[in-house]
Structure 1
């Protein structure tokens, strides 16, 4: 049996979230269930990039769980895993500022991640 290379997905991330991921403090990434993320699965690598920069951070996907809403996601995953520096209410407001209701209607993905250290 041969090993296959992990698939690498490149995603943009705001600086405040990037810093939490790079520090190993943010262990769950929140995304809308866009078709391009449908194939995302455990073992894949996500290369987060701060848009407009060369700054990147690689993480390994441990698990992907779908939720109907962002509220369900925060309740199911725990807000401290998504952003340990903000309250649940503030996180919900921040997520909804990024993703309007029509995007949330596509479904929410909780992506459990683990920082890849070199």
Structure 2
């Protein structure tokens, strides 16, 4: 981690946290919220599981924007987002977290690499 990298604090559900911590998940999916718009390669994300003190840190390798979640899964490949679920299962899961008005903001594929 360079001295110029920024650390972002983001929450993650247990299931996805475990995949990140095991280096099984290389793409994190987020909505393009204003506070994430300047996320860039070299930044560090510290993922938390809400209600616990568990964390893991990843380095952002790349950020790619998509118009929506289907385009993101097609562009990145579902196995990079969640190797344990089918594309349709992932799409349903992502949309359960982010309703249509959030998806309308745009989708971000954040390529991550576990630190430490």
Ranges in structure 2 where 5+ consecutive residues have no aligned partner: none
Q: Which residue of 1 aligns with 2:23?
A: 24
For 1:54 and 1:35, locate their aligned partners in 2 and report how far apart those are by CA, in whole Å.
26
Could you say which structure has the larger radius of gyration?
Answer: 1
Ranges in structure 1 where 5+ consecutive residues have no aligned partner: none
1:60-91 residue CA offsets vs partner (Å, 9 max, x unmatched): 00000000010000000000000000000000
Alignment length (residue pairs): 115
Q: Does 1:75 align with 2:78?
A: no
Please give the root-mean-square deviation of Cα atoms over the aligned residues, in Å: 0.8
Q: Does 1:37 align with 2:36?
A: yes
* Misfit runs of 4+, over 3 Å: none
**Secondary structure of 1:103 counterpart:** helix
1:30-79 residue CA offsets vs partner (Å, 9 max, x unmatched): 00000000110000000000011110000000000000010000000000
Q: Which residue of 2 aligns with 1:108?
A: 107
Q: Shift of the alpha carbon at 1:6?
A: 1.1
For 1:53 and 1:67, locate their aligned partners in 2 and report how far apart those are by CA, in whole Å.
32
